[in-house]
Amino acid sequence: MSSSTAKIGHECIGKDQRFIMVEITASDIYWIGAMDKISLGLIFLACLSALLIICAIQIYSGAMALFGALLGIACTTAFIFIPSSQTMAAMKVLPAIVNNQRIQGISESTVKLTEQFLKENLETLKSKDKSGDKK
């Protein structure tokens, strides 16, 4: 469970525009930085489990080999599913950016301006082509 909280506030520009502010705590910063170290620890444990399996085979211990195999499988699975520091940071920051209504409004206005610009320029080009065909 994450210890961050989402707050909904009002934008100064418009009364109806809302944005979500994600508060990142010191604990979040610690865990984001620790993710790569955790991954390295899991790799180390997987290597130790491989060594344990080799030793168990040498002394004919089935229980120790089984324990090593299960430990290796658990470490490898955890390594696969634990995100890197960069992914963890993106998981914290990107939702706040994507869900920000102000940014969504900017993209809508940009699309409208682009459509208007293209429409005006296409009309200008069409009128130039028609006048060029008459010559």
- Determine how many CB atoms are found less than 10 A away from the CB of residue 41: 14
Written as one string, the DSSP assignment of 5-56 is EEEEEE-SS-SS-EEEEEEPPHHHHHHHHHHHHHHHHHHHHHHHHHHHHHHH
* Per-residue confidence (pLDDT) for residue 8, from 0 to 100: 46
**60, pLDDT greater than 60:** yes
User: Which band of pLDDT confidence, cut at 50, 70 and 90, is reported for residue 89?
Assistant: confident
* Per-residue confidence (pLDDT) for residue 20, from 0 to 100: 57
The per-residue pLDDT for range 61-75, each reduced to its tens digit, is 888 889 999 999 999
Higher pLDDT among residues 10 and 100, named by residue? 100
The SS3 call for residue 2 is: coil
Query: What phi, psi does 10 have (nearest 5°)?
Result: -105, 135
pTM above 0.75, yes or no: no
Maximum mean pLDDT: which of 44-48, 84-88, 95-99: 44-48
d(C-alpha 71, C-alpha 50), whole Å: 9
Contact 39, 82 (CB under 8 A): yes
